[in-house]
Amino acid sequence: MPASGPHSCAGQPKKAGSPDFSNSSALPNIIIMYADDLGYGDVGCYGATAIPTPNIDRLAREGLQFTNGYAAASTCTPSRYSLLTGSYPWRNERARILPADAPLLITPGTVTLPSMLQEAGYTTAVVGKWHLGLGDGKIDWNGELQHTPLDIGFDYAFIMPATNDRVPCVYIENRRVVGLDPADPPLEVTYDQNQPFPGVPTGKDHPELLKMKYSHGHDMTIVNGVSRIGYMRGGTSAWWKDEEMAEVLLDKAISFVSEQRDRHQPFFLYYAFHQPHVPRLPGPRFAGATKLGPRGDVIAELDWCVGEMLNALDRLGLAENTIVIFSSDNGPVLDDGYVDGAVELCGDHRPAGPMRGGKYSLLDGGTRVPFILRWPQRVAPGRRSSALVCHTDFLASFAALTGMLPHLPPEAAPDSCQVLPALLGETETGRRELVTEDTAARTLLRQDNWVYIPPYPGPAVRRHTNIETGYLSEPQLYNLDADIGQQRNLAAAYPQKVKEMAERLETILAGERTRDGDAC
Ligand code: NG6
Ligand code: CA
């Protein structure tokens, strides 16, 4: 039991005048810890043996582990968009993998998970990977940024603008790039292939300067010995060191939580890790932590960050009434553009667990992800749930938890199901239906344990990354109950089921809102 376990702070004296978070009527704090490209099978409690993840496993032991927990998409931007807005990403045609200088994808004024929680009295923060666009057109990286997380519901932001393989390789705190020196030339960024900055070394022209070589893409500006996507120059005092990123972000995340300790308000923290996305460069103490090379090592580092946050909650006496969720934005990939041994050293490790496909894919390995919820005060520890739940559902579910659901405007969070009873382990019935999408925003329908994938043209295996796409010129129908590995296409055997699900998917894609329909 976490309440009486060795890490629990139950029984420790509370500071005078501090809020009593053990009072069961107080709204819980909420922390979403969100990994980047972590597969279902990469975590010990989901079956991994080659990578030690004692802290994520601890979370599962003390909480509820979902076996049918989904991201809305098999890539980052659309998944995160869906988590924050409660909307299926395919409703917004811009919700695709974005460069860092793309305009903010979420229009200020949209109801978001953090803005809803702000209304409910929460202090809200994002720390880590953003990748949802910034600004509203042209960005001056040296000035005060507009259209940032602060404009869509976050009170505090410490972010990496896009991904760790995309420029600009700088952190942004609230509205400013961190660590710019006025004596440096201004920071400039472009993704225009035809406009590289003259004189700034690229991976393509100066491979001898690289400490990690690229395998595909990633041949532009060199930062910290690693060439990236996009070009950047100036503002060099602000450029990050990848090996320090885990500690930099962890420090900001823990500082935010610590600062909330003595405030009479609940908090929401969206802590978005950069691991195990490429380039994989662990801090020195995790280099060599596994036999799987950098990919395994950064997962061990990620796990350590999770543990440090759990320990901080214990120390601060906040563990009991804090909901901690751990999940991932999409499924796994081995070679995602750098030569880091991920493929060669993988051995028997199965990053997607028993599933087919991975990142970018329509197959289940693309979107079924580790998904754990711990709330010692309310959720029984050490259980598993097969309820179908998706990150998209957090908005309506936490609106229900905080009394905000009746106040959501009808157009808000159109695809967010109120599945709070499932999230809290009170039932194993989650949503009935779920639409997920791949990197090209091609969709599929899941209904109970059935998956229908429409016919799509295109290669069966994605180039470079070597991941099955899920594309087939015929319809695909799988029953995940009996066939989690999607090995037996039942479409020919169940033509009526195929017809019904195809029609249903069409109806949803034509605009039917999920939130008040039968899907939930
Ligand atoms: C792809 C990148 C890949 C990764 C991905 C986004 C190339 C060749 N590949 O375009 O490395 O950055 O975008 O990943 O550039 S995600 O997890 O943020 O969706
Ligand atoms: Ca990702």
At residue 516, the pLDDT reads: 77
Nearest residue to 371 (alpha-carbon basis) of 386, 354, 349, 355: 386
pLDDT at position 262 is 86
Ligand nearest to the CA of 39: 2
The verdict on the CB of residue 95 being under 6 Å from ligand 1 is: no
Report whether pLDDT(14) > 50: no
Mean pLDDT, to the nearest integer, of 187-198?
96
Average pLDDT (37-52) is: 98
pLDDT of residue 264: 86
- What span, in angstroms and rounded, lies between the C-alpha atoms of 502 and 497? 8
> For the chain, how big is the Rg over CA atoms in Å?
22
Q: How far is the CA of 315 from the centre of ligand 2 (A)?
A: 31
Q: Are the CB atoms for 324 and 374 separated by under 8 Å?
A: yes
pLDDT the model gives residue 18 = 35
Ligand at minimal distance from the CA of 35 is 2
Q: Whose CA is nearest to atom 4 of ligand 1?
A: 336
Domain 24-183+240-423 has CATH 3.20.20.370: no
385 in contact with ligand 1, CB cutoff 6 A = no
- The residue nearest atom 5 of ligand 1, judged by CA position, is 97
* Per-residue model confidence (pLDDT) at position 12: 34
Non-local (6+) Cβ contacts of 7 within 8 A are: 58, 310, 311, 314, 319
**Per-residue pLDDT, 64:** 98
Beta carbon of 97 within 6 Å of any ligand 1 atom = yes
What is the per-residue pLDDT for 37? 98
Q: What is the mean pLDDT of residues 115-139?
A: 97
**Among the listed ranges 19-28, 286-295, 456-465, 495-504, which one has the minimum average pLDDT value?**
19-28
Compute the mean pLDDT over every residue in the chain, rounded to the nearest whole number: 94
pLDDT (0 to 100) of residue 246: 98
| Cα separation, 108 vs 131, whole angstroms | 16
Task: Choose the CATH number for 433-509 among 3.40.50.880, 3.40.640.10, 3.30.1120.10, 3.40.50.300.
Answer: 3.30.1120.10
Using the atom order of ligand 1, give the atom closest to the CA of residue 216: 8
Decide: 336 in ligand 1 pocket, CB within 6 A: yes
The percentage of residues in the chain with a pLDDT greater than 90, rounded to a whole number, is 93
pLDDT above 80 (res 287): yes
How far apart CA 365 and CA 438 sit, in angstroms, is 11
Is the pLDDT reported for residue 135 higher than 70? yes
* Per-residue model confidence (pLDDT) at position 518: 84
Cα(494) to centroid(ligand 2), Å = 34
Q: How wide is the angle at C-alpha 422 spanned by C-alphas 59 and 500, nearest 5°? A: 125
Q: Is 229 in the pocket of ligand 1 (CB under 6 A)?
A: yes
Atom of ligand 1 nearest to the CA of 218: 15
Q: Is the CB of 278 under 6 A from ligand 1?
A: yes
Average pLDDT over residues 388-399: 98
> 449: closest CA among 496, 487, 483?
483
Parallel/antiparallel/unpaired status of strands 231-233 and 188-190: antiparallel
Pairwise pLDDT comparison (122 vs 512), residue with the higher score: 122
In angstroms, what is the span from residue 322 Cα to ligand 1's centroid? 33
pLDDT, tens digit (0-9, with 9 covering 90-100), for 333-357: 999 999 999 999 999 999 999 999 9
Q: Do 24-183+240-423 and 433-509 fold alike per CATH?
A: no
Domain boundaries, the chain: 24-183+240-423, 433-509
> Which atom, in ligand 1's list, is nearest to the CA of 79?
19
Tell me: pLDDT of 471 over 90.
Answer: yes
CA of 76 to the centre of ligand 2 (A): 4
Q: Is residue 42 in contact with ligand 1, taking CB distance under 6 Å? A: no
At 25 the pLDDT is 64
